A and B are shown apart, each in its own frame.
Chain A
Amino acid sequence: MKVIACYKWVLDEADLKVDAKSRALLTDRTKNKISEYDRNAIECGVQLTEQVGGEVVALTAGTANSKNSLKDALSRGPAQAVWVKDELMSQADSAVTAKILAGAVRKIEEFDLVVCGEGSSDEYAQQVGIRMGQLLNIPVITFVNKVEVKDGILRAERKLEEGIEVVEVKFPALITVLPDVNTPRIPSLKQILGAAKKPVQELSIADCGLSPADTESKVSRESVLGTVMERKQIRVQGEVTEMVQQIVDLLNKEGLC
């Protein structure tokens, strides 16, 4: 089975600071990481190929900075990585990202399954996977929290608000996975060191069969501001019953209950 696991190289929110006055995000000392839900996607692909045989190709599209993601992705089990490099990715909307990734998938040619995170941990638009499926003309299963492959059929459980829906699909197909689909394993040192020896293919937008007109974003990001929590520092004192009443009164005053 050949699985393509897509991931996005995002800012690590643990390093993000917010300027208290302007609420601008301070990113000069922020590291990047593979988006949380995409780690689940990679792990999902690797677990499936461990069960039924095959290999995983890690796929990403990003600016030059994304090069730093490749060994991280490869250390998690994929046999190779494909990387579409272009500075326009810093401003690409979901439609453009999906077109580029779909173009790269066509370049990879033969595959059985594409796995994406349900959304990226920075914007969580939840569009790229679905758009890719449409562009590749393959069935899409979203909100997957359990998946198995047997006799060439993929069986997935979808976690919906109303309950769990079980669906089956033949390959080729695309799934978008929720974080509870698995717990990504921490790579061993041998896996990390082995990542440096795995093949990486770099592609351009043109290699993906796209022209500049195809990559014009219709949605542009005007600004991104952080939130700053102002602590009220109100302390309640007294007997337990008195304190509880004080807290309820405060919450009522804030319109919170």
Chain B
Amino acid sequence: MEFELTEIQSLIQSTVKEFAQTAVAPIAAEIDRTHRFPEELIPQLAELNLLGVPYPEEVGGAGADNLSYVLVIEELARVCASTAVIVSAHTSLGTWPIYQFGTEAQKVKYLSKLASGEWLGAFALTEPGAGTDAAAGKTTAVLEGDEWVLNGSKIFITNGGYADVYVVTAMTDPSKGTKGISAFIVDKDAPGFSVGEKEHKLGIKASSTTPLYFNDCRIPKDAILGEIGKGFKIAMQTLDGGRIGISAQALGIAQGALDAAVIYAKERVQFGKPIANQQAIQWMIADMATQIDAARFLVYRAAWNKDNGLPYSKEAAMAKLYAAETASFVANKAIQIHGGYGYTENYPVERALRDAKITEIYEGTSEVQRMVIAGSVLR
């Protein structure tokens, strides 16, 4: 067992760190403050092959492994959790279902554009009445001749309004419960499809989170993704991978907050010496660093399992559960170490706390992760 990254993984990590520091960090506070989606970053991310990291070169991706993908998300989240989730939602949720379940024709039409970053992807499962109870969705899809007609709405969709393609779940047979849900690929300009107003959120404010509306939205018959009635399974498997991305985001948020706290603790002088000399602060730093490293190995292990063809559902759930709760814990302590200054917008730690919270909620709440883990352990 080795606990070190390979040479190439280390190089990917240091390269993305450089990009994050030079291109993302300088705008992170501003896009958070103004709730601005960083459109200018998308072509830059695409040029560095950061929008298709784990997909083969033949389909337009970078050809790297899932552990490298985790490193990319972590380094981005270290400076900007919004940018990290834009990439993660596109890669794990918007692109993966098409890569995994798409027909050859669908892959030709969509995959290289998504994996290369020419197009942005999104994933639409959640509805106003169907969050954790994902199977309770009411959006319907009815086959009329050569077209599916979708009616309903989705809510809290990441990359909403900026994505070119949406993977959408809808009920094709309400009588069959979860087996009556199917998945579809919806182009942004599909007739009857519209995007609602952006949500005003506590955190990840630069990430666009919107409702989607389907009013007799017509898509071609061959826009169905996978088999009819397999949409729920597709969604659950998609979320398993998405959890690895979000756990990496949470890990990055936590690491960024710790980095800031260490710098501050060494510089802030009270009672004639840096507060880093005070045991109360040292113990906080120790707890933060230890939890982050524990989270790190859970996240990396989940990615490693996926790379090596091993089951990763439980491992991804553990990683997301622990990393998300670690991010909130560390961000909270980081503000405490910063004292009054940490409560102001002049330091990045208040943003870290606001950004951390959502990682305990989306792509499966921490409660859902506990259900998945217990379900696996108690089998």
Please give the residue numbers on chain A whose beta carbons come within 8 Å of chain B beta carbons, in ascending order.
31, 33, 68, 71-72, 75, 186-190, 192-193, 195-196, 231, 233
Complex formed: what's the CA distance from A172 to B371 in Å?
69
Considering only CB atoms, which chain B residue lies closest to A196 in the complex? B8
A193 and B62 within 8 A (CB): yes
Complex formed: what's the CA distance from A31 to B64 in Å?
23
Complex formed: what's the CA distance from A71 to B19 in Å?
18
Q: Is B50 an interface position by the 8 A CB rule?
A: yes
Residues of A within 8 A of B14 (CB): 31, 33
Residues of B within 8 A of A233 (CB): 269
Q: Is B262 an interface position by the 8 A CB rule?
A: no
Segment 1-34 of B: residues with Cβ below 8 Å from A: 7-8, 11-12, 14-15, 18-19, 22
Q: Is B68 an interface position by the 8 A CB rule?
A: yes
Residues of A within 8 A of B19 (CB): 186
B12 and A189 within 8 A (CB): yes
Residues of A within 8 A of B73 (CB): none
- Give the shortest distance, in Å, between A174 (CB) and chain B (any CB): 28
Residues of B within 8 A of A75 (CB): 11, 15
Q: Is B63 an interface position by the 8 A CB rule?
A: yes
Closest A-B pairs by Cβ, 7 of them = A189-B62, A189-B49, A188-B48, A188-B49, A190-B49, A186-B19, A192-B11
Q: Is B287 an interface position by the 8 A CB rule?
A: no
Interface-centre pick from B8, B11, B12, B14 (highest chain A CB count, 10 A): B11
Complex formed: what's the CA distance from A72 to B18 in Å?
13
Q: Is B57 an interface position by the 8 A CB rule?
A: yes
Give chain B's interface residue range (CB within 8 Å of chain A): 20 to 34
- Give the shortest distance, in Å, between B262 (CB) and chain A (any CB): 12
Known: A188-B48, A189-B50, A231-B269. A71 touches B11 (CB 8 A): yes
A189 and B64 within 8 A (CB): yes
Which one of A68, A189, A195 contacts B48 once the chains associate, using CB atoms below 8 Å?
A: A189
Residues of B within 8 A of A31 (CB): 14
A192 and B12 within 8 A (CB): yes
Considering only CB atoms, which chain B residue lies closest to A72 in the complex? B11
Considering only CB atoms, which chain A residue lies closest to B52 in the complex? A189
Residues of A within 8 A of B269 (CB): 231, 233
Q: Is B331 an interface position by the 8 A CB rule?
A: no
Q: Is B330 an interface position by the 8 A CB rule?
A: no
Complex formed: what's the CA distance from A174 to B334 in Å?
51
- Give the shortest distance, in Å, between B110 (CB) and chain A (any CB): 20
B48 and A186 within 8 A (CB): yes
Q: Is B80 an interface position by the 8 A CB rule?
A: no
A189 and B68 within 8 A (CB): yes
Question: Would you give 13 A-B contacts (Cβ < 8 Å), ordered by A?
Answer: A71-B7, A188-B62, A189-B12, A189-B15, A189-B62, A189-B63, A189-B64, A189-B68, A190-B57, A190-B63, A192-B12, A192-B15, A193-B63
Complex formed: what's the CA distance from A71 to B14 in Å?
12
- Give the shortest distance, in Å, between A65 (CB) and chain B (any CB): 12
Known: A71-B7, A75-B11. A188 touches B47 (CB 8 A): yes
Complex formed: what's the CA distance from A196 to B9 in Å?
11
Complex formed: what's the CA distance from A68 to B19 in Å?
21
A186 and B15 within 8 A (CB): yes
Residues of B within 8 A of A72 (CB): 11
Q: Is B53 an interface position by the 8 A CB rule?
A: yes
Considering only CB atoms, which chain A residue lies closest to B269 in the complex? A233
Considering only CB atoms, which chain A residue lies closest to B64 in the complex? A189
Residues of B within 8 A of A187 (CB): 15, 48
Residues of B within 8 A of A195 (CB): 8, 11
Considering only CB atoms, which chain A residue lies closest to B63 in the complex? A193
Residues of A within 8 A of B11 (CB): 71-72, 75, 192, 195
B18 and A186 within 8 A (CB): yes
- Give the shortest distance, in Å, between B259 (CB) and chain A (any CB): 12
Residues of A within 8 A of B12 (CB): 189, 192
Complex formed: what's the CA distance from A187 to B17 in Å?
12
Residues of B within 8 A of A33 (CB): 14
Complex formed: what's the CA distance from A192 to B10 in Å?
10
Complex formed: what's the CA distance from A47 to B169 in Å?
48
Considering only CB atoms, which chain B residue lies closest to A75 in the complex? B11
Considering only CB atoms, which chain A residue lies closest to B65 in the complex? A193
B7 and A68 within 8 A (CB): yes
